[in-house]
Chain A
């Protein structure tokens, strides 16, 4: 019989593939988080994955055992059972409890995630086609933040540099260790404010304010992208967050205040259907 051979070869290939995949260039997991919430989420994901893998291995352990032992070519005769109320009840009820067990930590993390109360500062992020506008509500700072990768890199006439597509002219700057509340909205169509390492993704809905928050644990530069299809440049409106020390932040604020104060952002909502 050909089949088992093929599966053995396959299994070998897979085994050989594992070390390959675990090499650094082939990142197979979340980006390292920079907030406690990000860590919680990764923990939660890990728990769910473990449960899934265990069940998966269990169920398909049975299946492959049957495939190898209960086949006609090894002379196995078919039994004729076709129901068993006890087992059927067991395998309905047990998954239910497993799921309830998963729902518990998920609920805890979710409640923490959605609690946007008592922020240290608030930034409003407005999605435009195709860039972000930021307003520091407490400081009165406003600016646009657009992709700064040169067109030549995109078209392939220049070599691509390290932060290809993930670099902007004016990054968001926030102090480390502070609860930052981000209000999102959009002026034209849906966008989404997504920075993986900060564990935030919040849709920006034109005409409505939505909010999310993060508290960065360490300083550094964190990059993300618009995560809701918003038209032709959807792939080209990144988000860059500089997390800096409080002193650096204060210096930055002072600098911004004299540089771009008085400049206004575009209309809060552009009426798409208004033209008719």
Chain B
């Protein structure tokens, strides 16, 4: 069996996938129970599942990092990772596209339809085509989220974080460790600040603006889009933290740092999604 450095790395049999599958099974079941008043059993099942998943992530990623650091990956493996990450991000784009599509559909099609012709006359008399709107049935008042407060600030934060991560990347390419670590650190701080603001914004929306998930078309799309985005920022931040720790431990070289790049692509992707959100959810 050739083990020369030119070889494509084929991993040994591994337990991590089956651990992950079992974890997901418990998580799914737990979530279903939660939503159907499963009480303590639901919480227990969900927790077991989550713990297994976290354990699996540590184990699996740990293994991969170990393999990478011990030099088992050649440049062809590196290319594989690049393809895979690109296609993964493409799948994420499609996921968000689905929710953006829902927003457009409601704004451009279904809300106007409800406010015109026979539909309006016979079913929803008096309903008018406006946006933001909770729909023809809900009369509770809510205040939509303005664009130029926290959202604008958050746009600025995320855009800056895109800059800092690129700054860190330049540093890595020139093997400037300190700048790399500082750049990543700044990115993480910006990410966490963003999330903090987002949490604050949600509390404000629920408490003061009466803007909830149940507020029809606007509420649903607002929370689904910003919520999934926030979730992705969280994941991105965790990944950045991992990269930061690895950088501090001296991982990565100027030539060999796919993990770093993968995370930064992901971060830029999250950034771009936010710009879309800022324009169509908050601003327009």
Contact = CB atoms under 8 A, between A and B. Distances in A.
The short answer to whether A and B are in direct contact, CB under 8 Å, is: yes
Nearest to A207: B123
Interface in A15-48: none
Contacts of A209: 117-119, 122-123
B123 A208 contact: yes
Nearest to B121: A209
A87 to B, nearest CB: 37
A208 B113 contact: yes
Nearest to A206: B123
A268 B120 CA distance: 12
Nearest to B135: A207
B122 A208 contact: no
B15 interface: no
A185 interface: yes
A210 to B, nearest CB: 9
Interface string A203-217: 000011101000000
B137 interface: yes
A100 to B, nearest CB: 30
> Most chain-A CB neighbours within 10 Å: which of B118, B123, B124, B137?
B118
Nearest to B214: A276
A115 to B, nearest CB: 15
A211 B118 CA distance: 9
A268 B123 contact: yes
Interface in A202-242: 207-209, 211
B239 interface: no
A183 B114 contact: no
Contacts of B118: 183, 209, 211
Contacts of A271: 137
B108 to A, nearest CB: 16
B122 A269 contact: no
Interface in B151-168: none
A123 B71 CA distance: 76
Q: Report the contact-size class of chain A (Cβ under 8 Å from the partner).
A: 10 to 19
A268 B124 CA distance: 10
A207 B114 contact: yes
A124 interface: yes
A268 B114 CA distance: 14
A207 B136 CA distance: 10
A62 to B, nearest CB: 41
Given A207-B114, A208-B113, A209-B117, A183 B122 contact: yes
Nearest to B122: A209
Contacts of B122: 124, 183, 185, 209, 268
Interface string B84-119: 000000000000000000000000000001100111
A183 B122 CA distance: 10
B137 A208 contact: no
A33 B271 CA distance: 59
A268 B117 CA distance: 16
Contacts of A183: 118, 122
B123 A185 contact: yes
A267 B272 CA distance: 45
A183 B113 CA distance: 15
Contacts of A208: 113-114, 119, 123
B259 to A, nearest CB: 43
A213 to B, nearest CB: 13
A13 B117 CA distance: 57
B214 to A, nearest CB: 8
Interface string A173-191: 0000000000101000000
Contacts of A185: 122-123
Most buried by A among B117, B123, B137: B123
A229 B57 CA distance: 42
Interface string B45-80: 000000000000000000000000000000000000
Contacts of B137: 269, 271
Contacts of B114: 207-208
Contacts of A124: 122
B209 to A, nearest CB: 21
B155 to A, nearest CB: 33
A208 B119 CA distance: 5
B54 to A, nearest CB: 31
A183 B124 CA distance: 15
Which 3 pairs between the two chains have the least Cβ-Cβ distance? A209-B118, A209-B119, A208-B119
Interface of B: 113-114, 117-119, 122-124, 137
10 contacts: A183-B118, A183-B122, A207-B114, A207-B119, A209-B118, A209-B119, A209-B122, A209-B123, A268-B122, A271-B137
Interface of A: 124, 183, 185, 207-209, 211, 268-269, 271
Given A207-B114, A207-B124, A268-B123, 6 more contacts: A183-B118, A185-B122, A209-B118, A268-B122, A269-B123, A269-B137
